[in-house]
Amino acid sequence: MPATLHVVATPIGHLGDMSPRALETLREVDAICAEDTRHTRQLLAHFGIERPLLALHQHNEEAQVAQLVGRLQAGESLALVSDAGTPLVSDPGYRLVRAARAAGVRVSPVPGACAAIAALSVAGLASDRFAFEGFLPARAGARRERLARLAAEPRTLIFYESAHRIEESLADMAAAFGDGRHAVLARELTKLFETVFDGTLGELRQRVAGDPNQRKGEFVLIVDGAGDDADARVAEGRRLYAKLAGHLPPSTAAKLAAELSGAPRKALYGGG
């Protein structure tokens, strides 16, 4: 193999999703950069692979990049894996990939599982255009602000969520997008307790609130984009009005927000 940085996807649950090419690549490289070396060592042990592991996570990536690129330039081949799925997708690695490319090193993907794409493939929502939003901010204020900005987004929206914030996120989404917006909650994909529910955001909230099992594990939440309809225009108009009203007289703020959003001016008061 010529010196290459191989970006290798690993399973998101079911070990049968490890591809033959991923196994072959991991067996042949000089070393494997892993987000959590203990976790990856277990995965490799399952497949009988023994290669040196190098820790590369969000806290040391910046510091490790120069040394790793040096090894690649010296002719070594490295693999990059994360704890699950495709590296760089809500996972570390882009700094290493960027630096390797800048140094003229070959970077090659070994594609495989990705929770966002797996969920989209079974959601039954429009998939010709979608926006991957990853994790929402942990702090409530920042999360609500992010969701308010997305209320008028016409593309299908994909979010990652953890068990301890799923209820809050569903509540904030229902408030920002409306209880009636259609969505799909994909939980524990490819694992023993895989479930995929669809319904309105209001229905999904009820389902999660009423069943403790539905609050366990890992989640992808896929939300229908805003149609080019009156509701989406009003949501965007209210967001703009709330921002502008802090700086302008209310009537001017409402006039501008109505013009920019296409919503009727009267619908904007009292909504922000």
Site of interaction with ligand SAM (CB under 6 A): 12-13, 82, 84-86, 89-91, 114-116, 160-162, 186-191, 218-220
C-alpha count within 13 angstroms, C-beta hemisphere, residue 75? 0
CB nearer to ligand SAM: give 132 or 269.
132
Query: Could you say which DSSP state residue 104 is in?
Result: T
CB nearer to ligand SAM: give 85 or 237.
85
CB nearer to ligand SAM: give 11 or 225.
11
CB nearer to ligand SAM: give 150 or 185.
185
Shortest CB 57 distance to ligand SAM, Å: 11
CB nearer to ligand SAM: give 37 or 190.
190
Residue nearest to ligand SAM according to CB distances in the complex = 85
104 Cβ contact list (under 8 Å, min separation 6) = none
Angstrom distances, CA of residue 157 to CA of 103, 116, 132, 182, 220: 35, 10, 6, 11, 10
3-state secondary structure of 164: helix
Shortest CB 39 distance to ligand SAM, Å: 12
CB nearer to ligand SAM: give 19 or 90.
90
Report residue 6: phi and psi, to 5°.
Answer: -95, 125
Shortest CB 122 distance to ligand SAM, Å: 11
Nearest one of 113, 168, 179, 115 to 144, comparing CA atoms: 168
Strand ranges (E), the chain: 4-8, 31-34, 53-55, 78-81, 106-110, 130-135, 156-162, 182-187, 195-200, 218-223
Shortest CB 193 distance to ligand SAM, Å: 10
Shortest CB 107 distance to ligand SAM, Å: 17
CA distance 210 to 166: 13
Shortest CB 128 distance to ligand SAM, Å: 21
Distance of CA 236 to the CA centre of its chain: 23
